[in-house]
Amino acid sequence: MMNINRYIDTSPLNPSMTTDEVRAAIQEGIDCHCKSVCVQPCDISLAAEMCKGTDTAVCCVLDFPHGKSPKNIKRSMAEEYCRLGAVELDMVMNYGYALSGRWDEVEDEIRAVTEEAHKHDAIVKVILEASQLSPEQIAEATERSVRAGADFVKTATGFTGTGAKEEELKVMLDTAAGRCKVKASGGIRDLATAKHFVEMGVARIGIGSSSMKQVVEGK
């Protein structure tokens, strides 16, 4: 039987959340044995303290939600977030560069983050914001992420456009071809959708903290 909770990165990322609300969401992720809690950078230390000794890892978004920082800033973010206790980094690809055909720069920025993260034994998931890209651009972004050493490619931030779509995931899975893993994120609010994506071959599911428990409980 599928333990869907072990595929879930629960994400208390709403910028208006209070510290108490973030703390409660992290605890709920721990209690539900989620694979990780994916937090804003300011909440890494809190998550690291709470997740210590549990089976829930600390994930952090990087250059979220637009991916517009220069390469060296992205690298510095990776270093600092790992130092604070993050063991997974969900970085936003500069999809404006992708739309401009600036693929070498896209790849170079991803490589800067993966090289730094891997020094700290952290993994990197590259958020493509796939709803803003054509199928050909999704394939190219996936290929560039693989070349740059990414551990995952991920559909969306959940803050722009639509969330995870089956056709986008299929392009990502086919292009990755096992060379990196795929994370479905954005708009997943029920167990049936989460299970379907896992059955397609997705290795992680990103779910907002407001929907996580109902998915785990099978609703």
For the whole prediction, is pTM greater than 0.95? yes
Q: Is the pLDDT assigned to residue 111 strictly greater than 80? A: yes
Cα(184)–Cα(125) distance, rounded to whole angstroms? 11
Q: Is the pLDDT assigned to residue 152 strictly greater than 70? A: yes
Catalytic-residue membership of 170: no
Assign residue 177 the CATH number of its domain.
3.20.20.70
Instruction: At 208, give phi and psi (nearest 5°).
Output: -55, 145
Cα(12)–Cα(207) distance, rounded to whole angstroms? 9
Q: pLDDT digit string (tens) for 174-212?
A: 999 999 999 999 999 999 999 999 999 999 999 999 999
- How much is the pLDDT for 38? 98
Catalytic-residue membership of 154: yes
**3-state DSSP call for residue 205?**
strand
Confidence of residue 166 (pLDDT cuts 50, 70, 90): very high
Q: Is the pLDDT assigned to residue 1 strictly greater than 60? A: no
Catalytic residue, chosen from 43, 90, 125, 213, is 90
The boundaries of the domain holding residue 118 are 4-216
Q: How many domains does the chain have?
A: 1
Catalytic-residue membership of 90: yes
